[in-house]
């Protein structure tokens, strides 16, 4: 049920399938949820600015039913993205969204 969506202005740095798999694994580890429930989405080459600059930047949404620890997760996610791309950690925003189990559908039902 964790879902991570990454939008970036970078054209190709996040298109590597290995990085997407790393992101899936780290989200599972950080939330304590089975990776079989983790969904990832990467949208690159988005028209974005940050602080008035078009230098590469990134916006991440992480949604989960509980299990969110924003300060720990922010550090881990920023470090991963910054280490594998040309996006600096101070050009990454992350939105953490805790979803009610009754508001998350899966396999013709909900989790709550």
Catalytic residue selected from 2, 34, 56, 70:
2
- For residues 77-94, average pLDDT: 93
Query: Residue 90's closest CA among 98, 79, 99?
Result: 79
Q: Kindly indicate the confidence band of residue 45, based on its pLDDT and cuts at 50, 70 and 90.
A: confident
Query: What residues contact residue 58 under an 8 Å CB cut-off, 6+ apart?
Result: 6, 7, 8, 9, 10, 81, 85, 87, 91, 92, 93
Q: Give the helix/strand (H/E) hosting 25.
A: helix 17-31
| Portion of the chain with pLDDT greater than 70, in percent | 96
User: What's this model's pTM, rounded to 2 decimal places?
Assistant: 0.91
Provide the terminal-to-terminal Cα distance of the chain, rounded to the nearest Å: 12
How are beta strands 58-64 and 39-43 bridged, if at all? unpaired
Q: 2 an active-site residue?
A: yes
Q: What is the mean pLDDT of residues 69-75?
A: 95
pLDDT > 90? residue 10: no
């Amino acid at each position: 049920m964790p879902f991570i969506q990454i939008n970036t202005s970078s054209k190709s740095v996040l298109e590597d399938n290995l990085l997407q798999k790393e992101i899936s694994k780290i989200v599972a580890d950080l939330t304590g949820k089975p990776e079989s429930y983790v969904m990832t989405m990467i949208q690159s080459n988005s028209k974005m600015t940050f602080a008035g600059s078009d230098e590469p930047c990134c916006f991440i949404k992480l949604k989960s039913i509980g299990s969110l620890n924003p300060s720990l997760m922010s550090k881990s996610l920023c470090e991963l993205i910054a280490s594998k791309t040309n996006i600096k950690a101070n050009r990454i925003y992350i939105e953490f969204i805790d979803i009610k189990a009754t508001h998350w559908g899966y396999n013709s039902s909900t989790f709550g």
